Chains A and B, each alone.
Chain A
């Protein structure tokens, strides 16, 4: 256990360095603001602020991006409660009981308890991250290319099937992402692939241009007409009105504990994450509690899911940091930052860059603490921010996207890239093809190809090598199982729909 204490001390020292503290604060502060504003989710926020990370070291860069990430989850629930519009998708569940509470004049209590529940969930997630990461990383040290390839297949399949929707679409988009990821020169031979003589493509498509295009631009385009400035329930939010009654507090304790458990589990799985965790927690609370109270301002319907989505935010870092396999698009972007800074993601990060890993983990505590302190006195500011119409907001977002790219690359070449990828991203969105699997495929594509070719080289060209060893077999079997489940599920739904339609026409 002595090793763990050394690790935590090192982490705390790193996290408390003025530079890291500053970027942690900047991250959670900007994250909360962007999270509060509907129409800007965590991906847009991260891609907007991504260019800054080029000018700082990898540790403060990750600390800041992570702060934005969990900061948006905190901020997202504020607009869910006050406006009934989730500021970020994962806070959609908070609308169900949070907004009724606000309508009953209990907005203050809802906001305070959300913050407390978020902090509690986040803390549980960090503890699990601290406890499990070294073990997972240690066992992953023995993984070879075959195991990594199988793990990546599992990660990508899980990400494209679990979140719902058609597996065929998800897998198509993963493959499209992989193709975009291998544009540029080949690692082994230096051969230029899919560059078509365009200089902008020689170094490959940058993860920034892709994220800003398919998330930033496409998101803004589809939000301009759909985000409306809603009216905020009247009544000033005073500190007194925030304090929950004893019974409200007592009713929240068990939901928070259950929610944190659910969230921690789903956060660590690839493809799930905050939204699914929050829904699960809501469903569990509804089953355990008095069902008739839900949807009418039941505090346990708010605190459970809020603990769940914040716990999930933290445990999502487990596969990303220990295996180098991101479970969500946000984690894929984090991995992209590591790669840009020349750090090979995987179990070695823990042993070779302990200050980065433990510094990041300890910064989560500091960040969550800052959020706890930030959120309560600043509610008034968030409320004012919510009154700014989106029509004034979106040109600013476009400006920051473009200026971010310009200052990163010192030229307009990459701005054209963003424009093309933005158009592609919007087309995909219009055709209801999911964009999230695409960025996962994009980041993992080059790594997958490397492992694929290395495995073939080592085995002397035997394709059978990919199903050797228990880890690869389990991963591939799980992937196949997920695909089959998804196809059976969609076939059943279709059959059920046909039956109900037949029933309707018979009437």
Chain B
């Protein structure tokens, strides 16, 4: 028994949802104006409505599809570690400077790949930090603090 909730159907629901939300949000918050002097609400209402229609078409195609398209696997590990690394970087960088945030970013992001030893990950993090500081601080002379607010 195959579920009707294929990837295409999920995409359709997403598009219709975003479109419906945009349409209603624009309709209730921004002025539509008259046709001869359109306000800021008119265009987003139309685009949102069109999204509902095109999303519905994607949905119809998904439901009619006989053969299930084989999609790419969900890369949970790379996605998780790379997003986590960026989030930690964004939290740290304004206080610690990028001289500390970059090695942590690289170290955490490297876990997206399974096959590296801890030592290799650490070496990678340190060498990329050296490249980064050389490039941004010494060559491009970007005026962002490297270590806290000291350097």
Contacts and interface: CB of A to CB of B under 8 A. Distances in A.
Interface string B1-44: 00000011011001100110010011000110011111110111
A291 B121 CA distance: 50
A462 B36 CA distance: 7
Contact of B11 (A175, A422, A431): A431
Nearest to A416: B90
A171 B53 CA distance: 10
A498 B102 contact: no
Contacts of A471: none
Residue with the highest number of chain A CB atoms closer than 10 Å, among B8, B58, B124: B58
A407 to B, nearest CB: 5
A398 B86 contact: yes
Interface string B82-112: 1101110111011000100010011001101
Given A407-B144, A415-B90, A460 B36 contact: yes
Nearest to A224: B78
B42 A222 contact: no
Interface string A391-404: 11011101100110
Given A194-B25, A406-B98, A412-B90, A395 B106 contact: yes
B69 A432 contact: yes
Contacts of A419: 83, 86-87, 90
Interface band, chain A: 35 or more
Contacts of B61: 166, 168, 490
A418 B87 CA distance: 10
A423 interface: yes
B150 interface: no
A415 B11 CA distance: 26
A225 B78 contact: yes
A422 B87 CA distance: 12
Contacts of A239: none
Contact of A176 (B15, B25, B102, B109): B15
Contacts of B142: 407
A419 B64 CA distance: 35
A312 to B, nearest CB: 27
A179 B44 contact: yes
B78 to A, nearest CB: 4
Contacts of A432: 7-8, 11, 69, 71
Given A168-B57, A426-B79, A431 B105 contact: no
6 contacts: A189-B31, A193-B30, A391-B115, A415-B86, A433-B14, A453-B43
Interface of B: 7-8, 10-11, 14-15, 18-19, 22, 25-26, 30-31, 34-40, 42-44, 47-48, 50-51, 54-55, 57-58, 61, 64-67, 69, 71-72, 74-75, 77-79, 82-83, 85-87, 89-91, 93-94, 98, 102, 105-106, 109-110, 112-113, 115-116, 124-125, 128, 131-132, 136, 140, 142, 144
Q: Which 3 A-B pairs have the closest CB atoms?
A: A461-B35, A461-B36, A168-B57
